[in-house]
Chains A and B, each alone.
Chain A
Amino acid sequence: MNQLSRRVPLVDGVAKVTGALRFTADLDVEGLLHGALVLSTHPHARVARVDPAAALAVEGVHEVFWHGNTPAHLYNSSIWFSGQKALADEQMFPQVVRHIGDRVAAVIADTEEIARRAARLIEVDYVDVPTIFDPEVALGHAGLPLRQDDTPTFLSPVAGETFVYGDPEAGFAAADLIVETRVTTPRSHHCAVETHACIARPEPDGRILVLSPCQSVFAVQAVVGQALSLPSEKIRVQKTPIGGSFGGKAEPILDPLCAFFALKLNRPVIIRYDRQETFTATRTRSSVTGRMRIGLKSDGRILARETETLVDIGAYCTGGNYLPSSMLQRLVRLYDVPAERYSGRAVYTNTVPAGAFRGYGSPQIHTIAEISLDIAARRMGMDPVALRQRNLVGPGAIEPWQGLDLGNARGRECLARGAEAFSWVGRRQRGVGRGRWRRGVGVASATHINGCYPGFHEETTASLRLLPDGRAELICALHDLGCGADTTLAQIAAETLGLRACDIVIVPADTDTCPYDLGTRASRMTYICGEAIRRAGVSLARSVRAAAGLELNTPADDLRLEAGTVRRRDDAGIALPDLAARLASRGIELPAATESYRAQANPGSYAAHFAEVEVDRLTGRVMVTDYLAAHDVGRAINPMLVEGQIHGGVQIGIGYALYEDVAIDLATGRMRGDSFSRYTLANAPEMPPLRVLLVEEGEPTGPFGAKAIGEIATIPVAAAVVNAVNDALGTELTELPLSPERVLAAID
């Protein structure tokens, strides 16, 4: 009963820092062949000819694959179960490439070096077709010839979402102030330490085994099945350790290719991307242009709000069609807005596809909304904290779009306690200064979801089993992306069983041995999987007590599990290994429990972030000089990991505000920021002193009261930083990132 609210170290931490943990690219697989891809250098072109002769002549090359000798099945890499309906527009090697970095061919060879060298020898003839790089232009376009027969294959927008609530016209008519803004968010990249990699191995029984650092083994199985037109039972997927993802590995990219090559050559095949390939040929966060109109009463109440979003999803649909609605879902959870109108559209461009990235639309929509609200506050001369406090939802609020109860929503406490701890009022009174360097403070609120309820069959199954050595085995398709989910969930299991987190043996996610789960996404690990595991743990504890009752001559209800022992009230007891041995000696199966949990709610997690910046008016450089993040997490199962999530989230968010942009050239479609020398991340020296304040008021539907932290940690950051810059300079900067050029241009 002592695993909660404890700073338990990562269960796999020692293995990671000692190098004992083997990542996919380190795995020793007998007979492994290596693949290297030829990626398109043209943004939109028909691949007229691929000549593999020179590559095939290289010693050590086994095969060259391109559209001429691979399946042309259309698939969608974002599906998460077999048979899911989704706009399928991807192919292993399309005849018409849609972006620079699209796949043209692959060489399979004895070594990666040979494969890469041979790949450079493949001759490709491209016939260029018209391109669209600008989402605004895409909107006005009715589709492009993409198929071999010149049939247009898509229309922009790919997807849209509209929503009206209340009477926006009446709201605007009654408003004392109407503010209109246009905010653009950049296309940012995940930059996980581990680049993309996958291994596929043909099995003796004719199946294919895919070893993948993924966010859902079942999603990989579904996508590989669709791409290869194979039934699920032919595909086994095992999760390998993940060296960071942030959503970048949510969609299987290399997996269908590896699986096909391995089956075709009857040899295991690995493909691993280098850093530049991971930039240009995987996924990014979508860039969004948001137009917002807010009508306010002079006392700060929001009377009406109108939002238009235009989402650039890049060259393939993947899951981009969900973005307009997911942004709406997150937008309407934060403030009590009596009249709302929303219209969101997603469009194709000839650029690298967008995909999941920590928040799935939330960073974009909250950045847009929170910068806009701050502009309103400044124009009406109202304190931005007070303006937010007047409009934030409270516990038990019902959001207007899906009618969901937002649970124990504590955004107001985050704002109030954060402002107090940050000395918000005092810092604002101090002023911005007069000289070259100006100081400003900014605030932003945010909310995010906890899981996928009410959509997507939001349920999971966890099994816990007592092991002979007294530990417990946990089977649940878990994918810890590196942020400590396994540790947190082991703490939850251990808490119910009187064990320590390190006593929980987590079986790696495997489609053969684990029940279906949606995977690590939508901030659902602690809240959804954690509750299933808690229930399984309670159930196993009951079985263990029942099994120990006879041994201890005590009714099960009078027993408790504590420190690896089943104890009576008089503290006499039996250690779990001893209990297991006695049960085994009598031929009794060791206790086990399986519980399925279907979510009944989707409460909001809430946050308020406070940033102080200093801006050099001569160079345009912004330094974040102080930061405070207040989060409503319900209850922190592991405060250290919660803080770690927040630290990382703030770092990504500072980059999003100030530096990060893959910078697609609007004339050529080339990505300028395709390496770490050209794509600037906020590194450690840029980080300000950072304080975390946790609001732990408990969420009744969460395991031990816990709610999510993973995605929300990064959501308010960019707006808080931008609002601080606008405060320092008296500007209304709305185009991110705030590069020194943009800052200087705004203070002319």
Chain B
Amino acid sequence: MSETSVAAPADLAELRAMLSAVAGPINFIGGGTDMLIAGRPMPAVGLLIDLSRIAGMAFICADDGGIRVGGATTVAAIAAHRGIATRLPALAEAAAQCGSVQIRNRATIGGNIANAAPAADLVPVLVAAKARLGCIGRDGASRELAICDYAPDRGFLIAEVILPRDGLLPRSAFVKLGPRLDLSISRLNIALLAEFQDGRFGDVRIAAGALGPRPLRLRIAEAALAGRKLEHATLRDFLAALAADVDAAIPGRNSQAYKRRAISGLGLDLIAQAVGLSPRDQLFEDVVQ
């Protein structure tokens, strides 16, 4: 039985060479916030590659085109990035609400995806934004795939997250519901990207976490909002649609009864954030009377 060895490649070229040269099992470690906690056995054998020191794997590029985020970029860096706050505020918001200060300082966007937790906070935003992942395979070669096609057991390293320009919409929002405000695993989280002009929604994409093994699009709710004017009737239809999405996602689950109700509160918070209103605005209060 061979012990685990650890490698810390300095750049992507060295990493690629390592991947193609090593025959045994390989595991990656980014921030380690899920891997290093007690109760999770570390891999007993093979090579553990530390991604935190690879030059060029932690970056954010949010120019006029799309947005590109290096796989080893920390959640804290995403939360603090001005370009992301401007272009995709939902991602900044999700990053700001992920874990605790200490976790955000270590955890990476690549790890948030690869850890594949159903409640991962960044992933609904990425799904709604139709993100693509720039991956490196075991052969050291690059390939790109849609986030929906990513599976952690295929051995792909997430080198960068690509948010194509045409996937972004002018408004976005992220809200979560956990047992407490901070250091909280989402019981429900929702991301929304939308066009919204002159009080009317255009194209709308919504994805939610903790409603299944992986975040999913809420198609019924999207349809209830798309092309509609922001008014009481729309919001009522939207809330009913959200409940229908929950019913479709987790029929018969213990949590269904709670989540189908609670999602209405989250839904209103989501719309308020997206259009820049307070969730305590009379518009929303009227809907729940």
Which A residues have a C-beta under 8 Å from some C-beta of B?
274-276, 434-437, 616-621, 659, 675, 677, 680, 682-686, 740-741, 744
Contact of B288 among A435, A684, A686 (CB under 8 A): A435
**Which residue on A lies nearest to B286, using beta carbons?**
A435
Chain B residues at the A interface, C-beta cutoff of 8 Å: 38-39, 177, 179-185, 257-258, 261-262, 264-266, 268, 279-280, 284-285, 288-289
Check B38–A274 contact: CB distance below 8 A. yes
Question: Is the Cβ of B258 less than 8 Å from the Cβ of A744?
Answer: yes
A276–B177 touching, CB < 8 Å: no
A120 nearest CB neighbor, chain B only: B41
Contacts of A275 in B (CB 8 A): 38-39
Complexed CA–CA distance, A680 and B38 (Å): 17
Please state if A435 and B265 are interface contacts (CB–CB under 8 Å).
no
Most chain A CB neighbours (cut-off 10 Å) among B38, B265, B285, B289: B265
Contacts of B179 in A (CB 8 A): 659, 680
Q: Choose one: B180, B182, B184, B280; the contact of A437 (CB below 8 Å).
A: B280
Would you call A685 and B181 a contact (CB within 8 A)? yes
Residue of B nearest to A616 (CB): B265
Question: Contact between A686 and B185 (Cβ–Cβ < 8 Å)?
Answer: no
Query: Could you say which residues of chain A place their CB within 8 Å of the CB of B182?
Result: 683-686
- Which residues does chain A contribute within 8 Å of B266, judged by CB atoms? 619
Per the bound structure, the CA–CA distance linking A268 and B185 in Å amounts to: 41
A44 to chain B, nearest CB (A): 25
Q: With A274-B38, A619-B266, A744-B262 in contact, is A436–B183 under 8 Å at CB?
A: no
**Chain B nearest CB, measured from A378 CB (Å):** 24
A682 pairs with B180, CB closer than 8 A: yes
Are the CB atoms of B39 and A274 closer together than 8 Å? yes
CB pair B183 A620 closer than 8 Å? no
Residues of B within 8 A of A274 (CB): 38-39
> Which residues of B sit under 8 angstroms from A686, Cβ to Cβ?
180-182
Interchain CB contact under 8 A, B180 and A276: no
Chain B: which residue is nearest A435 at the CB level? B285
In the complex, the answer to whether A618 meets B265 with C-beta atoms within 8 Å is yes
B248 to chain A, nearest CB (A): 20
In the complex, the answer to whether B38 meets A677 with C-beta atoms within 8 Å is no
Are B180 and A436 interface neighbours, CB within 8 A?
A: no
- Chain A residue nearest in CB terms to B285: A435
CB-nearest residue of chain B to A742: B258
Q: Are B262 and A677 in contact (CB under 8 A)?
A: no
Residues of A within 8 A of B39 (CB): 274-276, 675
Centre residue among B177, B180, B285, B288 by max chain A CB count within 10 A: B180
Distance from B289 Cβ to chain A, minimum over Cβ atoms (Å): 7
Closest 8 CB pairs of A and B: A618-B265, A619-B265, A435-B285, A685-B182, A680-B179, A619-B262, A685-B181, A741-B258
> Which residues from B are CB-within-8-Å of A618?
261-262, 264-265, 268, 288
Partner of A619, one of B177, B180, B183, B257: B177
Least CB distance from A689 to B in Å reads 15
Chain A neighbourhood of B262, CB < 8 A: 618-620, 740, 744
Q: For residue B264, which residue of chain A has the nearest CB?
A: A618
For A616, the chain B residues whose CB sits under 8 A away are 265
18 contacts between A and B (CB under 8 A): A276-B39, A435-B285, A435-B289, A436-B265, A436-B284, A437-B280, A616-B265, A617-B288, A618-B261, A619-B262, A621-B177, A659-B179, A675-B39, A680-B184, A683-B180, A686-B181, A741-B257, A744-B261
For residue A675, which residues in chain B have a CB less than 8 angstroms away from its CB? Answer: 39
Supply 4 further A-B pairs (C-beta < 8 A) apart from A435-B280, A618-B264, A744-B261: A437-B280, A617-B288, A686-B180, A741-B257
Provide the residues of chain B in CB contact with A620, threshold 8 Å: 258, 261-262
Q: How far is the CA of A686 from the CA of B284 in the complex (A)?
A: 25
Nearest A residue (CB) for B177: A619
Question: CB-CB < 8 A to B280: which residues of A?
Answer: 435-437
Return B65 CB to nearest CB of chain A, in Å.
37
B264: chain A residues at CB < 8 Å are 618
* Closest-CB distance, B8 to chain A (whole angstroms): 23
Interchain nearest-CB distance for A418 vs B (Å): 26
CA gap between A276 and B39 in the complex, in Å? 8
Q: How far is the CB of A616 from chain B (nearest CB, A)?
A: 6
Residues of B within 8 A of A435 (CB): 280, 285, 288-289
Q: Which residue of A lies closest to B185 (CB)?
A: A677
- Minimum CB–CB distance for B181 against chain A, Å: 5
Within the complex, the shortest CB–CB distance from A280 to chain B, in Å, comes to: 12
Residue in A closest to B267 when the chains form the complex, CB atoms:
A618
Residues of B within 8 A of A619 (CB): 177, 262, 265-266
Give chain B residues whose Cβ lies under 8 Å from the Cβ of A680.
179-180, 184
CA distance A744 to B179 in the complex (A): 14
- Separation of A683 and B265 alpha carbons in the complex (Å): 23
- Within the complex, what minimum Cβ distance (angstroms) separates B118 from chain A? 13
Point out the residues of chain A lying under 8 angstroms from B258, CB to CB. Answer: 620, 740-741, 744
A684 partner residues in chain B, CB cutoff 8 A: 182
Contact residues in B for A744 (Cβ distance below 8 Å): 258, 261-262
Q: Which of A275, A434, A741 counts the most B-chain CB atoms under 10 A from its CB? A: A741
A620 nearest CB across to chain B (Å)? 6
Q: Closest CB of chain A to B241's CB: distance in Å?
A: 15
Residues of A within 8 A of B183 (CB): 683
Select from chain A the residue with minimum beta-carbon distance to B178.
Answer: A680
Chain A residues whose CB sits within 8 angstroms of the CB of B261 once the complex forms: 618, 620, 744
Q: How many Å lie between the Cα of A451 and that of B246 in the bound state?
A: 54
List B contacts of A677 (CB < 8 A): 185
Minimum Cβ distance to chain B for residue A251 (Å)? 24
> Cα distance A740–B182 when bound, in Å?
16
Report chain A residues within 8 Å CB of B285.
435-436
A276 engages B38 (CB within 8 Å): yes
CB nearest neighbor in A for B268: A618
Inter-chain contacts of B185 with A (CB < 8 A): 677
Q: For residue B284, which residues in chain A have a CB less than 8 angstroms away from its CB?
A: 436
What distance in Å separates the Cβ of A622 from its nearest Cβ neighbour in chain B? 10
Closest to A683 in B: B183
Cβ contacts under 8 Å, B180 to chain A: 659, 680, 682-683, 685-686
Residue of B nearest to A436 (CB): B288
Q: Which of A436, A437, A618 has the most CB of B within 10 A?
A: A618
Question: For the complex, what is the distance from the CA of A744 to the CA of B263, rounded to whole Å?
Answer: 12
Determine how close the nearest CB of chain B comes to the CB of A95; give it in whole angstroms.
29
Q: Nearest A residue to B38 by beta-carbon distance? A: A274
| Bound Cα distance from A740 to B179, whole angstroms | 8
Q: Which residues of B contact A659 (CB under 8 A)?
A: 179-180
Measured CA separation A436–B289 after assembly (Å):
8
CA distance A426 to B256 in the complex (A): 40
Q: How far, in whole Å, are A744 and B256 apart by their CA atoms in the complex?
A: 13
Give the shortest distance, in Å, between B34 (CB) and chain A (any CB): 10
**In the complex, A621→B280 CA distance in Å?**
15
Q: Could you tell me the distance in whole angstroms from the C-beta of A653 to the nearest C-beta in chain B?
A: 15
CB neighbours of B38 from chain A (8 A): 274-276
Q: Complex Cα distance A435/B268, Å?
A: 13
Cα of A620 to Cα of B261 in the assembled complex, Å: 9
Complex Cα distance A741/B260, Å? 11
CA–CA, A243 to B183, complex, Å?
22
Query: Measured between alpha carbons, how far is A104 from B201 in the docked complex, in Å?
Result: 62
Closest A residue to B184 using CB positions: A680
Measured CA separation A133–B265 after assembly (Å): 35
User: Given the complex, which residues of A lie within 8 Å of B268, measured CB to CB?
Assistant: 436, 618
Q: How far is the CA of A680 from the CA of B180 in the complex (A)?
A: 8
* Shortest Cβ distance from B100 into A: residue: A683
B232 to chain A, nearest CB (A): 14
Docked pose: A659 CA to B187 CA in angstroms: 14
Question: Chain B nearest CB: distance from A348 CB in Å?
Answer: 28
A675 to B184, CA, bound (A): 13
A434 and B285 CA atoms in complex are apart in Å by 9
Q: Chain A nearest CB: distance from B100 CB in Å? A: 8
A617 to B261, CA, bound (A): 10
Closest partner residue, chain A, to B179 (CB atom): A680
Q: Which residues of A contact B177 (CB under 8 A)?
A: 619, 621
- Report the separation of the CA atoms of residues A614 and B268 in the bound assembly, to the nearest whole angstrom: 18
Shortest C-beta distance, B32 to chain A (Å), equals: 16
Question: What residue of chain B has the Cβ atom nearest to residue A684's Cβ?
Answer: B182
